[in-house]
Structure formats: structure tokens, C-alpha cells
Amino acid sequence: MTGNRKSRLDRRTLLKGTSAAAIGIIGAPLIARGQAKPIKIGMPTILSGRVAQLGASSRNGVMLEVEKVNAAGGLAGRPIEMVIRDSKGAPQEAARVARELVNSDGCEILIDAEASSGAFAVHEVARDLKVLCLHTNSETSSLTADPKLRIPNAFRVARQGIHDSIVGGGYAAKIAEAKKLTKWMTCSPDYAYGRDTTAQFIEYLKHFKKDIEVVGEAWPKLFQPDYTEVVTKILQTKPQAMYSCLWGGDLTSFIDQGNIYALFTQIETFAVNMADYTALTVVKNLPKGIHSGNRYIKTFPKTAANAAWGDAYRAKYKEYPTNWAWQNATVIQFLAAAAKKVNSADGAKLAEALRGLTIESPFGTDGKLTLRAEDQTLVGYAIGWGTTIPAEPYVPETTAGDWKQITELEAEWKKKNNYT
Amino acid sequence: MRRSAVRDLLIGAVVLAALVLLPVLWPSKALIDFVIRGAALALFATSLNLLVGYGGLVSFGHGMFFGVGAYSFGLLMQRTGMPIPVAFVVTIVVTAAVALLVGAICVRLKEIYFAFLTLAFQMFLHSLIILWVPLTGGDQGLLGGIPRPPFFGIDLGDQRQLYIAACVLLVAGLLLMRHIVESPFGFTLRMIRDNAARTGFLGVEIFRIKLVAFVLAGVFAGIGGVIMSLFVSGAYPEFAYWTMSGEGIFMIMLGGITTFLGPTIGTVILLLLNDFVTRFTEHHGLMLGAIILLFALGLRRGITDFLVDHWRRTRTPAATRRGH
């Protein structure tokens, strides 16, 4: 009896199986047509360690836009599937993860959300594997400016050191002229970024105002906890103005400790990385009147679109967007626009479309962003300087930089560095 | 030639053949990447074990030679355009010279003092790399890729050929190190580890033996660095950072100190753990830490030592019965 029942069951299973298979065979092309193969985009970024917060905000920025693009049908009909992995901020790990994403996970595009050295490591992977690669966080100018490093399949969708220096130098020169600030001092972290950025800022400050004198330099170590000696050195040197490119926790520690000595009421301070929510909201008593470049701030550009984007991000992730967040959001907007233009999600075709592409964006100075064709880098983004107030909106007014001037001086700078 | 040396050579040849055939049987780019990285780090870990396991010299600064190897090779290829084999030999000479200098100062010290002085030299080198921007590119590392001009018909720009080169270097490196630890020099080194004073009374120049071991270990770590620099097509300050040395110690702890292949197995375990754990969780630090803790508490001396001990224990009664 049992055997009988078993055989009946088996027949039913067989019937079910056959019909399912039949539906599968007949239906598969229909399903495939209705739901194209997803396009996998790999993204190595830093999700652990000191800058994990920035890596997480990069992921948030990307996901916010991916949802919108997928709701609208994806890249040329193919839904985007993000594969985001932690590189721990180590370049060899970034290279490994990037290779793995392409070779094992089948990612067709890389969004390189790495900082400095990691970005260069991923760049080499892109050169090797010839996969479309979009750098979203490295601000080191040489990554795109140096023709020796350039490859047709890599783009930078991020701000750039040289642009910041030109705008910063021009802005600071105007303030220096108005307030008669000639004795300057610098206080920046002691590594390549700190040294390069500071030298460039001073270069352009002197370019716009000839009688600047640098009376002292302080080079605190990266991630230094105690700034007492730096603060006393500054107080002893008695400059009229000070430039600093300290960032993140280092900047907030420096501001907190400098406040004890009322440093910022005595000296006109230009801290390029101050106007970033990760710094603005962490400082205990944010002094009034610190000059800063914009990183991401809801009030600049002062448009409804930008404010709405900032609010939407905050509503979704319960925190303020960062500079990395808008850059990573932008990359998805660019990919969507490029895919629409060529009606394809193929890497080579997308690269062709991206070269010289202009899109509408809340982050552009005049509502537009462009991936400049000649060096495949982002231009036209909102870049400017303003002064802080202790509470929201932290930087109420920002003076925008002039992109015509930036482009001219950047061309000169490239010529000087044999980048042409 | 000793019989054991012939046996080692044979094993080496078989392993090399198996490694070369592996991608033919299992064509996976991920596997190729894994083995190249594994070769670089296994050479590094085994060379560290020359000091830790065989010499009793616990170096916390071994990553420095990995970094020196990667940077000298990368710089030579980028700046001089010399052929790869020449750059490879020059890199070995440079690494040996650095190891000789550092070793001459460090190996006079014992235990914790030795460990900390090697760490200090490592941090010094790391700072030098960070600060000497015109040469090293500072914290951004060597930029622009490492050129790999073909030589003798070998093109290391092709990942498959790099794979074979890495396998050859790995097997040759391991065989050489095996030869070193099985030679009278290797036994003298172990004697010093166990009782330096007594060895000294036998007329052995302890300083010289330790220094030679330090230089040899540095050279093999440098070769690991060369493979890694070819894999990532660059060199980064992280290669010479203390975390690199820390990883070496982890690999040895996972794999085992007293077995020659322990560090190699530890490397494979750590890489597998790292690659899989980072795939599935962001809390990989916690996971890895817990696993290493389990190894340290449960196995005490790494997996191969544990297995070898176990094997010996189960064999001993039988051996005794045969009248040993």
C-alpha cells in the first residue's frame, strides 16, 4: 500500500515538474524580455576605520540615486545592482577588491570610492582590466591632470585640489586686501595632501595679492590628538591670518583646543575643510567667522533643488550628507544620462558618451555639471568660500568661484607641470 | 646531495607542476589573483618565520623589507627602465643592504628590545616613504603603474604569465628557505634560539649567524614585496607599515611555527578568511579577531603544529611497540 501511494505521489511530482519545466521553457524568453539582466556595478570604498563615516556616506549617496534610476527603468532598461565592498582604506586591498568585483562578481562598471592612494591602485586595475571606472572621492589633481596616468576608460566625478586652491587663493586675497592681512601662517597635516594643498593655496594667494608674507608654518602629524604646541606656536608667531587644510577629527580637535586660547578671535582663519557637516556638527563651540571652502552644504548652491536633495538624504539616512555623498550621487546621475544618450549599458559606449557630457544637477554652480572631455574630469561644480556661524545653517552665504578664471589658471598650472 | 634535499626538490617540482596546471583545470581569474597574492604573502610569512620560529628573533618590523622590495623594484622599473630580471637582482641587493644595516644594529638585542627596535626602524622607514614625496609619491604611493616590458618572451603584464612567475618564485623561495633551515647553518640558528650562551661557548659567532639569518629573511620578504608590487602595479606605504608585520605574525600564528610549511598554510587561511569574511560582513575585524583568538586559545601553536603533534601522538605507541 505504501509503495502504491508513493508511486502515485511520484507521478504527480513528475507531472508538476514537467509542467513547471514547460512553463519555464516557454515563458523564459518572455520574462527575460520584460526584465533585462541587471547591470552589476562594483564599488570598493572605506567602510571601516577612521574614515568609515565617509565611505558609508558614499554608499548612501549612490543608493539614493540608484533607487531613482531603477524606478525609472535602470540603465538602458537594465536595473542597477550595486556590489559594495570594504577596502579598509588599504590600497592593495582596494586593488584586490576591485579585481575581484570585476573578475568574480561579474561587475561591468567600477565606481572607485577610495581616497588618495586607493584610487590610484584602482586606477591601475582599470588600466589592466579595461573596465569603465569612475573615481568619486580622490581629489588629487594628478589623477586626471597627468596625461601619463590617463586612460580612456577612467573618469573623475569629484572635486579637485587645484580648483580649490585657485578659488581659495582668490577669495583669501580679496579678504586680505580688505582687512590688510599680510602676515600669514599655515597649519596643515604633515603628509602629501597637507603639504601639496598648502603650497598651492599660498601660491595662488600670492598670485592674487603680491605682498603676502608667510611668517610661520606648523605641521601637526596626521591624527595628532593634542594641538597645544601648535596653538602656542601660532600665538607666539602672531600672524594676522592663518590657512589650514586639517580635516575631519583633526580639524575639530584643533578648533576645540584653539578655542581655549581664543585663537580664532585673534587670527583670521581660513580652514578649507571646515564647511563639511562632519566637522561643523562635531565642533563643540563653532567660532563665528571662520572662512571655509564648501564641501557639501545645503545652502550652496542656493537652489531649491540642492536644499531638497540635502533634506531627502537627511530624511532617509538620519544624518547630513558629506562631500563624498554628493559626488557619489552625481556619478549615478551621469551614468543614467550617458545610458539614455547611447541607449546602452555597455562600458565602452558609456565612456564615449560620458566624455564631454553635461547634465542638469543640483550640485552645479549654474545647475549643470560637465565631464570635461580633454581630461575626463568634473567641472562646473559648486565651488566657493563663506564664513561660519555657530548654528544651522552654519554657512549662510557662500561666494561662488568663477569657473572661467579657474579654467584659465588651471591651464597655466598644467603647462607649468608639463601636463599638456 | 642529501636524500631529504632530493625529496624536497621532487615535492617542489610536483607542487609547481600542479600550480601551473591548476588554472588550466579550473580557469578562474579570481583563483589566479588569489595565488599571486598568496605567493607574495607566503614568502613574506615564511621569511618572518625564519626569524621567529627558527631563530627565536621575534621581529615586529619585518614588513619594512616587504616595503623595501616593492618600492625598490617599482622605482627601478619606473625610473630606469632596466629589464625586469636586472631590476629583480638589484632589488635583492638593495633589500639585503638595508637588512644588513638594520640587522647590524638590531640583532645585538634580545627579546622585547629586539622586537621594539625592529618596529622603530620600520616606522622610520614608513615615515621616510610618507615624507620623501618626490621619490616615493608620499602617502599616494608609486603612481602610474609599474611598467612590465617583456623579457625572454615572458610578459608579466599578462596575468597568467605573472601567475606562473609568482608560482616559480614561491616554490624556488620556499625550497631555498627549506634548504637554509635544514643546513648546518639552520641547526646552529635553532641552537642559538634554544640556548645562546651555550652555543657561544661552542665557539659559534652568534652575532654573525643572527645577522645572516636577518639578512636572508629580509631578502625573501623583499621578493614577496616584488610579487605584490607586480600584482597591484604600484607600491604603497601600507606595505611598510606595522600592520603588514602584524599580518605576518598572524599568518604564522594561524599556520604554526615549528612546521616549515606552517606560515604558508597560515597565509592561505588568513587570505581565505579575509576574502570571505569581507564579502559577507562589514564587521570583519571582529570576526577575524574572534577566529584568531580561537586559534590562539584552542590550538595554541597554529594548525599545522597541532596536526603534526596529533599525528606524532597517535603514531608513538606503535613506534614504541616496534622497539624504538
A132 and chain B in contact, CB less than 8 A: no
For B175-195, write each residue's pLDDT tens digit: 999 999 999 999 999 999 998
Whether the predicted pLDDT of B202 surpasses 50: yes
Q: Provide the strand spans (E) within B193-235.
A: none
Residue given cell 556619478 in the structure block: A331
How far apart CA B308 and CA B54 sit, in angstroms, is: 17
More confident residue, A88 or A107: A107
Could you give phi then psi for residue B291, rounded to 5 degrees? -65, -45
Q: Which of residues 37-66 of A touch B (CB under 8 A)?
A: 47-48
> Percentage of chain B with pLDDT > 90?
44
DSSP state of B53: I
A100/B233 touch (CB, cutoff 8 Å), yes or no? no
In this predicted complex, what is the ipTM?
0.76
A48/B282 touch (CB, cutoff 8 Å), yes or no? yes
- State the Rg of chain A over Cα: 25
Residues of chain A with Cβ-Cβ distance to B29 below 8 Å are 99, 103-104
How far apart CA A77 and CA A151 sit, in angstroms, is: 28
How far apart CA A292 and CA A372 sit, in angstroms, is: 26
Cβ burial of A225 (10 Å; 0-12, 13-18, 19+) is exposed
Whether the predicted pLDDT of A269 surpasses 50: yes
Whether the predicted pLDDT of A3 surpasses 50: no
Nearest CA in chain A to B241: A90
For A183-194, write each residue's pLDDT tens digit: 999 999 887 778
Contact between A85 and A42 under an 8 Å Cβ cutoff? The reply is: yes
For A39-78, write each residue's pLDDT tens digit: 999 999 998 877 888 899 999 999 999 999 999 999 999 9
Residue given cell 610618507 in the structure block: B130
Determine the average pLDDT of the residues in B211-219.
95
How far apart CA B237 and CA A93 sit, in angstroms, is: 13
A91/B238 touch (CB, cutoff 8 Å), yes or no? yes
Residue given cell 568619486 in the structure block: A136
The whole-number pLDDT of residue A33 equals 46
pTM here? 0.81
Determine the average pLDDT of the residues in B88-117.
92
**Mean pLDDT (chain B, rounded):** 87
Contact between A297 and A275 under an 8 Å Cβ cutoff? The reply is: yes
Whether the predicted pLDDT of B1 surpasses 80: no
Report the gap between the CA of B18 and the closest CA in chain A (Å). 22
How far apart CA B322 and CA B324 sit, in angstroms, is: 6
- Residue by residue, DSSP assigns A374-411 as TTTEEESB--EEEE--SSTTS---EEEP-HHHHHHHHH
A117/B278 touch (CB, cutoff 8 Å), yes or no? no
Residue given cell 607649468 in the structure block: A416
Contact between B197 and B67 under an 8 Å Cβ cutoff? The reply is: no
A191/B139 touch (CB, cutoff 8 Å), yes or no? yes
Residues of chain A with Cβ-Cβ distance to B145 below 8 Å are 124, 127
A417 and chain B in contact, CB less than 8 A: no
What type of residue is B102?
V
Q: Evaluate the omega torsion of the peptide bond into residue A393 and state whether it is cis, within 30 degrees of 0.
A: yes
Q: Which three cell numbers stand for residue A330?
A: 552625481
Domain ranges of chain B: 3-241
Cα dihedral across residues A98, A100, A102, A106: positive or negative: negative
CA count, 13 A, side-chain hemisphere, B196: 16
For B28-40, write each residue's pLDDT tens digit: 888 888 999 999 9
Residues of chain B with Cβ-Cβ distance to A88 below 8 Å are 278
DSSP state of A320: -
Domains of chain A: 39-160+303-379 (3.40.50.2300), 162-301+384-416 (3.40.50.2300)
Q: Which three cell numbers stand for residue B302?
A: 597554529
How far apart CA B48 and CA B46 sit, in angstroms, is: 5
For A306-362, write each residue's pLDDT tens digit: 999 999 999 999 999 999 999 999 999 999 999 999 999 999 999 999 999 999 999
Residue B306 three-state SS? helix
Whether the predicted pLDDT of B315 surpasses 70: yes
Whether the predicted pLDDT of A23 surpasses 70: no
**3-state DSSP helix/strand/coil % of chain A, to nearest 5:** 50, 20, 30
B133/A192 touch (CB, cutoff 8 Å), yes or no? yes
Helices (H), A209-303: 228-237, 248-260, 263-266, 277-280
Strands A358-360 and A398-400: unpaired
B139/A146 touch (CB, cutoff 8 Å), yes or no? no
Nearest CA in chain A to B141: A117
For A248-262, write each residue's pLDDT tens digit: 888 999 999 999 999
